[in-house]
Structure 1
């Protein structure tokens, strides 16, 4: 009889008081994939613990932002959304990352499903994501799950690809009871 050594992965919204947990996963994402984010590892490392706690607490409640975690004994993935005030009924997927050892196991899809369900429950019609054009894996992932290229120019870099997801149409694809 075979025994699996894989740990159970849990998915959830970040809780109040989990600033240091958020810091841990965010620093891991910036170490692993610095080219995928507009933030830098150095800037993130210079932030105070109080600022990490404040951001986690804001992401734990309300409808302006949310952060979802994938954890085993430690964080192995995250998806974070933030209301984009420039566009009505739009939230921006500002962070999406899964640790290298957990990739190709469905964690990204599950994190994205949490993001879509949260967006739908909070009245958002569109999820916007920005991806660097050389990040083909991310582009394929988002397009496979219904994101379409908008053709607009990135607010962070002139090279970023802006993708949009219609939350209503995506709801059936991502519906999962939690």
Structure 2
């Protein structure tokens, strides 16, 4: 059974491992590269993990059979009131289509609701939308959109 672990500084090494795997597996899905982030120091990773457990953000690692196999993070959008953004969503290839992505998205969505925000996911025309995002979300009216990138309410 997959469990979710909240990203905190104590999990910075695991966060680093999963993030670098995600960047290597699906480089076009992220705004960074494995080459860039693999140069970060352990202090950098500790700080990045600390930035994912604040009042403005949250991050989860999916854990199954003694390994971390997925990640999802959420940030409150300071430019668009009452919205939060789903970022850094990734599931290891051998754990896809097993509900891990849905579990991660639901956790971020639950966090967004708990702080009275609507969750959005960023995408670009070249993004392949994963199955855990319903296609009906593409047709729904957008109630709030961060101006910097297209979003889909979920």
Query: TM-score band (shorter)?
Result: 0.7 to 0.9
Q: Which has the higher contact order (CA 8 A, sep 6+)?
A: 2
Alignment of 1:125-164 (within 5 A): 126-138=118-130, 141-144=132-135, 146=137, 148=140, 150=142, 155=148, 161-164=150-153
Report the alpha carbon displacement of residue 106 of structure 1 after superposing the two structures with TM: 0.7
Rg comparison, structure with higher value: 1
Residue 81 of structure 1, aligned match among 67, 74, 78: 74
Q: Does 1:33 align with 2:26?
A: yes
Give the number of equivalent residue pairs.
151
2:8: which partner in 1? 15
- TM-aligned CA distance change 1:109 to 1:69, over 3 Å: same
Alignment of 1:31-70 (within 5 A): 31-60=24-53, 62-70=54-62
- TM-aligned CA distance change 1:33 to 1:96, over 3 Å: same
TM normalised by structure 1 equals 0.75
- TM-aligned CA distance change 1:127 to 1:162, over 3 Å: same
- TM-aligned CA distance change 1:137 to 1:89, over 3 Å: closer
The separation in 2 between residues aligned to 1:137 and 1:14, in whole angstroms, is 24
User: What root-mean-square deviation, in Å, do the aligned CA atoms of Structure 1 and Structure 2 show?
Assistant: 2.3
**Does structure 2 retain, via aligned residues, the 8 Å contact 1:63–1:122?**
no
